[in-house]
Amino acid sequence: MPKLTSIDWLTLLLYFLAVLGIGYSLRSRIKSGRDFLLVERGLPASICALAFTAASLGSVEVIAMGAAGARFGFLAAQFFSIGAIPAMAFVGIFMMPLYYGSKARSVPEFLGLRFDRKTRVLNALLFAALAIFTAGFSMYLMARLFQTLHVFDGLFYALGWPRQGIFTLCAVLSAAIVLAYVLLSGLIGAMYNQALQFLVIVAGFLPVVLLGLKNIGGFTGLKAAASLSGFQAMTQSAASGPQAIATALGLGIVLGAGYWCTDFRILQAAMAAKSLAAARRTPLIAAILRLFLPFLVILPGLIAIGLPTPHSSTTVREEGGVIYHETVVVSKAVSEGRGLVPAQIDSATGNPTLDAASLPLLDYDKSTPAMLFHFLPTGFLGLGLAALFASLMSGLAASISAFNTVFTYDLYPSLIRKVASDSHSLKVARWTTVAAVLLSLSTAYAFFGINSISALGVLLFIFSVLNAPMLATVLLGMFSRRATSHAAFAGLLAGTATALLHHSLTLPAEAHPGLQGGWIAILHRYPTDILQCFWTATLAIAANLIVAAAISLCTTPKPQAQLVGLVHSLTTKPRRKQPALWKRPETLAAAILLAAAALSLFLA
């Protein structure tokens, strides 16, 4: 059981006070609904880029990346980080001029301008479901981890509180703090806090990575340890043949592009920039930061599984003529695991859950937290916990603030059948903040009764079922003059339905019916969840494009005059003196892509 000292508690307290202080100090800048929801597009690219990066480092992403590192090694870096770089460069060069230049306040509003109201409302409803689902699961995941890892057991024992309340404490505490600073300062408070939270995540994780590498003997020792533990054979098997192709294409291109090009939780940071140039630089600067993330959030999982597996042991020593027996007892989950990654324990039998080969299934979600608790000494553990809370609050704030904007500007006007005034929008946004936090908490408790939920599985589910169909609709809108409003609506509906149907009829090997699929029937089992989600996303995009193309041929598109500024080929760049070649975003994007390719070769 981790032992938190007064220094650890003080570190946590200072972090909580800092995020609340940022929200309180920025409250005077909120005078209207546009200030609360949009920051009046007045933030510099540096703050937007940090917020852009931090919004993609929520607790689900951080835990899932560590889990993927333990499962697939640096192959995970190829699709989670390196695979994201081309999509981020594409957003900065081609998509931000349309998102930002159209003056749309959200991605659904852009689709409304490009197509029609029904497409806007459908996209807004899908995104609202995505935001609440993600926020609720983020709270569930982190609270459950703190509960199962006994982080706050000492506090509850000392105060005489029932240990079952740890889940509620973690979920409600994070929700209450995010609610407070978002209510105080809206999007600007969320984004400045995300910048702080990114720095806290780096400060908490970097010492763990350095200590882990030193302990295991650097990259050479890591490679040797992974080979001895059998991990190398496991990852080579997972990365061979069609699965390797699915990994690279599925998460690196299809799913990665869907996430970075359409997810308003991420894009709202770039759309809050003070100018088009700053908005274009935002994802490019974030891409530079993304190049280093494999070493920060994926490497801990790889180190965790490469370390020696702890076992119960007894040592005998003599001191002053007295013989001492020192016994170290580890749980069955730890001793049956691999390295620091524990095994999954069947709650009914108390024994490890076995796969088809009679080997224990590993609880990969605990890879990163186990590294924090193993390597951070007493007095520094609070920094690691602050980093975990920072990842939770960063993702939660991104979901809540994006939900606010989409509901206030895209859904609420459809309900009242008129455009609300700016002062009324501010009231709606603040009440929406409260409602979104309560809905997220309810979702977290709904997850509590579901077993065998993995962060990686949920992340892949979101990418393939919700983001992938949106990607096809957005690309059609931006790069096709012929796509019609009826076609976009029908395509988005067909793509989403196809993704849900395929997911409900298939299941990864060793998984149980539920969020990972098979909740209607099991017609096919994929070797891995990555392969399943690759085909889910591919079928969703194909269905969207086929339906949209067929209906576009039978319906009349909008006049081209109405598409200026919304379709790339009809949008002309303003005539002004071009900056020097080395200052252009295209040059920066090319340099980032070359760096990503070099890093990919190094990691391979």
- Contact (Cβ atoms closer than 8 angstroms) between residue 356 and residue 509: yes
Cβ 171 vs Cβ 139: under 8 Å: yes
Instruction: Return the pLDDT at 573.
Output: 67
Would you state the pLDDT for residue 252? 61
- Comparing 235 with 468, the larger pLDDT belongs to 468
Is 138 within a domain? yes
Is a pLDDT exceeding 80 seen at residue 438?
Answer: yes
pLDDT of residue 581: 67
Residue 365 counted as domain residue: no
How many Å apart are CA 100 and CA 106, to the nearest integer?
A: 9
pLDDT band at 479 (very low <50, low <70, confident <90, very high): very high
Q: What angle do CA 208, 196, 460 make, to 5 degrees?
A: 65
Residue 251 pLDDT: 58
Q: Give the CATH number of the domain where residue 389 resides.
A: 1.20.1730.10
First-last CA distance in the chain:
37
* Residue whose pair of structure tokens reads 């080395």 in the numeric block: 582
More confident of the two residues 602 and 375 = 375
319/275: higher pLDDT: 275
Using left for φ > 0, alpha for ψ between -120 and 50, and beta otherwise, residue 217 falls in left
pLDDT tens digits along 491-520 = 999 999 999 999 999 998 877 887 788 889
pLDDT of 359: 79
Chain segment 174-232, per-residue pLDDT in tens: 999 999 999 999 999 999 999 999 999 999 999 999 999 998 888 887 777 655 444 44
Query: Helices (DSSP H) in 26-164: which residue ranges?
Result: 33-38, 45-55, 59-72, 75-77, 84-90, 96-101, 107-114, 117-148, 153-159
Query: What pLDDT shows up at residue 452?
Result: 63
Residue 503 lies in a domain: yes
Taking only the tens place, the pLDDT of each residue in 263-276 is 999 999 999 999 99
Mean pLDDT, to the nearest integer, of 373-389?
87
How much is the mean pLDDT over the chain? 86
pLDDT number for residue 233: 42
| Confidence at residue 37, expressed as pLDDT on a 0 to 100 scale | 92
pLDDT tens track for 1-12: 667 888 988 999
Look at residue 358 in the predicted model and tell me its pLDDT. Answer: 75
Per-residue pLDDT tens for 91-108? 999 999 999 989 999 999
Match 């699709």 to its residue by tokens: 79
Q: Residue 418 belongs to what domain range?
A: 6-23+46-308+370-572+580-603
In a domain, 327, yes or no: no
Answer yes or no: is 411 within a domain. Answer: yes
CA 541 → CA 432, 499, 527, 546, 549, distances in Å? 32, 9, 22, 9, 12
Q: Has residue 333 been placed in a domain? A: no
Q: SS3 string of 160-222?
A: CCCCCHHHHHHHHHHHHHHHHHHHHHHHHHHHHHHHHHHHHHHHHHHHHHHHHHHHHCHHHHH
567 or 579: whose pLDDT is higher? 567
Residue 418: the pLDDT is 80
Burial of 571 (0-12, 13-18, 19+ CB in 10 A): middle
Partners of 517 in the β-ladder: 514
pLDDT of residue 26: 94
Q: Is the predicted pLDDT of residue 85 greater than 60, yes or no?
A: yes
The larger pLDDT score, comparing residue 242 to residue 171, is at 171
- Does residue 136 have a pLDDT over 80? yes
Lowest mean pLDDT among 108-122, 151-165, 290-304, 517-531: 151-165
Give percent above pLDDT 70 in the chain: 92
Residue with tokens 């030193």: 214
For the entire predicted model, the pTM comes to: 0.90
Please, which pLDDT band fits residue 77 given cuts at 50, 70 and 90? confident
Distant-in-sequence, close-in-space partners of 575: CB < 8 Å, separation ≥ 6 = none
Residue 165: what residue type? G
What pLDDT, on the 0 to 100 scale, is given for residue 419?
78
Length of the chain: 604
Predicted pLDDT of residue 578: 67
- Count of domains in the chain? 1
pLDDT of residue 539: 92
> Does residue 331 sit within a domain?
no
Per-residue confidence band for 241, with pLDDT thresholds at 50, 70 and 90: very low
Is the model more confident about 345 or about 301? 301
Q: Is residue 443 part of a domain?
A: yes
Read off the pLDDT of residues 390-417 as tens digits, 9 standing for 90 and up.
999 999 999 999 999 999 999 999 888 7
